[in-house]
Structure 1
């Protein structure tokens, strides 16, 4: 109703995408194994202490294992990443007989599969973290991150059969109803991403046309606002003048007689017709007039011309650094 564009939270879309991929049967079984092992070390303070001691002895930094939560974004990635980093200490601790650990240790194939999942999920963790920022612009990042992650979850020949299935499920979940044109506009007006490579020429053409229309609309509104303000000022000045009584010039008899005599003695006025040559000879006498008369007497450019000039100047500027703030730019 107000002309505002609704954009769905892409970080939430990414979280749902990851959950779709993790529903794969092979992935689900592996996650159950990891959760049981992590849960054992969380329940047993003795096992957690032995794990920390073994990690220190192996020259590793002892870190507490992380248990994932369904409602917490990226928690499964955090669990797998921490488990992979502490796996050597975990395997050594699970071999201790006095702890009576019933859970079987993971196999080498399980370890390799965990590494593949970490590599697959890491970009989603990075994108969600960046898009949840509150001190910088994020709407111009949506189109770019969506395209990058779409390429990331596209299956390749080197992927295993299970990873290919996981990617296919994630790719299907990423097809959301985002307004692509609006997101391309946001990317183009961000000096960091206006020449990004995966924006097609047709996207750029359509987005630039939409941007020009919006800029023209804003320029026209600003012009109407300025015109309204000037009209109100003129009306106020007219009202102030009308409130004052007219000043009458009353002459006494002697002043009126002198004025009549002066009028009679005046020579007849010479009337000069206005000609084009006479208009050209007229020059401003004030300093401000001599400086600015040539500019203010020119016909003002249309809003479309100003928008085109402004947009072309922007597109010719060098791209801003990725770490920079587009607002400061």
Structure 2
């Protein structure tokens, strides 16, 4: 990306190749090391434009190394692995769409995604599996599982008709959510006598 930013000639050649190959005339993206969603977009753009980039580097007789076919497959797998993180980042950063009831569900799904990928693909896609394992450790260190014990989030999840108990990661979280709901209900007046039956059906 930095090579094309610095070279007007390379940029012009890239635009020409994009037209020849009938590719979208997008710029090459540089990643932000602090955001996985940024890495995802960088990979997505590179894979979209890799034929044009290869042709430009060949025309310029550049000594920059270009990924092999095997490398491109690995990059495509890494992009696919990161896509759920990009999607969750988009949802969680949207003030219009994000709700407290979604937090536990989304965090649980990301943890499961990282765990499954690091195990299922550790032989064929070693780099991406290693990234998945590293991200899982990072999520653990940042306390992601603790969201499932947050009383406010538990209540929000179990009361959301989209999730109910299915939005919680395990039976322990389900029982904790029901217990907190019963506790809240006990503080209300007798007009809420039907709350126990409603909770039992969740």
What is the TM-score when the length of structure 1 is the normalising length?
0.53
2:12 corresponds to 1:42: no
Classify 1:51/1:308 alpha carbon distance in 2 versus 1 (closer, same or farther; 3 Å).
Answer: farther
Deviation at 1:63, TM superposition (A): 0.9
Partner of 1:58: 21
Partner of 1:163: 128
How far apart, CA to CA, are the structure 1 residues paired with 2:45 and 2:171? 43
Classify 1:111/1:73 alpha carbon distance in 2 versus 1 (closer, same or farther; 3 Å).
Answer: closer
Deviation at 1:166, TM superposition (A): 2.0
How far apart, CA to CA, are the structure 2 residues paired with 1:82 and 1:137? 27
Which of 155, 158, 163 is equivalent to 1:193?
Answer: 163
Which of 299, 307, 310 is equivalent to 2:192?
Answer: 307
Give the structure with the higher percent helix.
2
Q: Is the 8 A contact 1:212 1:307 kept in 2?
A: no
2:41 corresponds to 1:93: no
Count of aligned pairs between the two proteins: 193
Deviation at 1:167, TM superposition (A): 1.9
Which of 122, 136, 145 is equivalent to 2:83?
Answer: 122
Q: Aligned ranges for residues 221-236 of structure 1 at < 5 Å? A: none
Deviation at 1:140, TM superposition (A): 1.1
Deviation at 1:311, TM superposition (A): 5.7
Partner of 1:18: none
Partner of 1:184: 154
How far apart, CA to CA, are the structure 2 residues paired with 1:195 and 1:211? 12
Deviation at 1:103, TM superposition (A): 1.1
Partner of 1:107: 68
| Structure 2 SS opposite 1:156 | helix
| Structure 2 SS opposite 1:203 | helix
Q: Is the 8 A contact 1:212 1:308 kept in 2?
A: no
Q: Aligned ranges for residues 203-218 of structure 1 at < 5 Å? A: 203-217=173-187
Deviation at 1:83, TM superposition (A): 0.4
RMSD: 2.4
Runs of 5+ consecutive residues of structure 1 not aligned to the other structure: 1-37, 221-301, 318-329
Deviations, residues 244-267 of structure 1 (Å, cap 9, x unaligned):
xxxxxxxxxxxxxxxxxxxxxxxx
After superposing on structure 2, the runs of 4+ consecutive aligned residues of structure 1 that deviate more than 6 Å are none
How far apart, CA to CA, are the structure 1 residues paired with 2:132 and 2:35? 21
How far apart, CA to CA, are the structure 2 residues paired with 1:126 and 1:41? 28
Q: Aligned ranges for residues 62-73 of structure 1 at < 5 Å? A: 62-71=25-34
Deviation at 1:146, TM superposition (A): 1.2
| Structure 2 SS opposite 1:95 | helix
| Structure 1 SS opposite 2:161 | coil
